[in-house]
Amino acid sequence: MMEKILLRSKFRGSLLGALVGDCCGAPFEGQLMDSGTKIVLRNNLNKLEGPFFKAPFKKYTDDTAMTKCVANTLLDPNGYSQKLLAKNFVLEYFKDPRRGYGAAVGDVFDKLRKTKIANPVGPAAEQFGGNGSYGNGAAMRIAPVALYCANRDKSELIKLVQESSLITHSNTLAIHGAVLQALAIRQSLLCDPKEKFDGLSFLQQLKTDIVELEKSNDPDLDAHHNAYEIQLSRLQNLLEGKIEPSDENVLNMLGHSVEALHSVPTALFCFLKNT
């Protein structure tokens, strides 16, 4: 019984944590973080810890809207399908399009609606000269897939991540970023809170998994076939202190853009550095 209670708590924490991060981070998205902005951000976050803290409601963005779609589709009584997820994405977008959706994903949903979702992955695959989007959007909404696959084989997790990602992001770098994020969430779920957390061991397991995934791609077809292995090696050097983990070094080495390759590893570093 205790294990079920703990697992339920972790499920809630994963989803609510993503929601809080979305709502609190959205006002600062795209801003240059000078010293003054950092102080404002830190003060706002510190206030959240107070039991009597009150503030205006924060709006959630497209990331939370699509996360809800993923969760609801996985729990659909008629069963999950890629086409159903695409349909739910489209319905959510046209119901409430002012959530910060990018122009590219808006074009995808527009084409999906016009074609009645004849091919759920077709419009995304056509974007950017056929290279597809390499942004972090698929990773941002992936938490429900990780939770759904908590007690399932990793191969099933990866398959579901790929299916859900391809609707909007067909580029390998975007998909692998979503897989890395999902694996990290799944691995966190399996951690025993009674044991001391070992960040380096946690990272090494992720690195092993992502190397195996990247090796499954044909390096002759993908110029970035080991891109995440390189990023996780840099992350490890920062975490171990071989390179000073200053803000400047972290941003220069891992990145802080909307590209999955230059944001998912950075988010992972922040988690491991502060856990």
Contacting residues for 238 by C-beta, under 8 A, at least 6 apart: 245, 249, 250, 253, 254, 269
Q: What's the whole-number mean pLDDT along residues 254-273?
A: 97
Specify whether the CB–CB gap between 53 and 19 falls below 8 A: no
Query: What pLDDT, on a 0 to 100 scale, did the predictor assign at position 41?
Result: 77
Burial class (CB in 10 A: 0-12, 13-18, 19+), 22: buried
Do the annotations mark residue 209 as ligand-binding? no
What percentage of the chain exceeds 70 in pLDDT?
97
Q: What amino acid is encoded at 259 in this protein?
A: E
Instruction: Write down the pTM of the prediction.
Output: 0.93
Do the annotations mark residue 153 as ligand-binding? no
Closest alpha carbon to 264 in 190, 187, 176: 176
- SS3 at position 163: helix
Radius of gyration of the chain, Cα coordinates, nearest whole angstrom:
19
Q: For residue range 194-225, what is the model confidence (pLDDT) as tens digits?
A: 999 999 999 999 999 999 999 887 554 456 67
User: Rounded to the nearest 5°, which phi and psi values hold at 212?
Assistant: -60, -40
Q: For residue range 125-167, what is the model confidence (pLDDT) as tens digits?
A: 999 999 999 999 999 999 999 999 999 999 999 999 999 999 9
Do the annotations mark residue 61 as ligand-binding? yes
Burial class (CB in 10 A: 0-12, 13-18, 19+), 229: middle
Closest alpha carbon to 113 in 93, 132, 129: 93
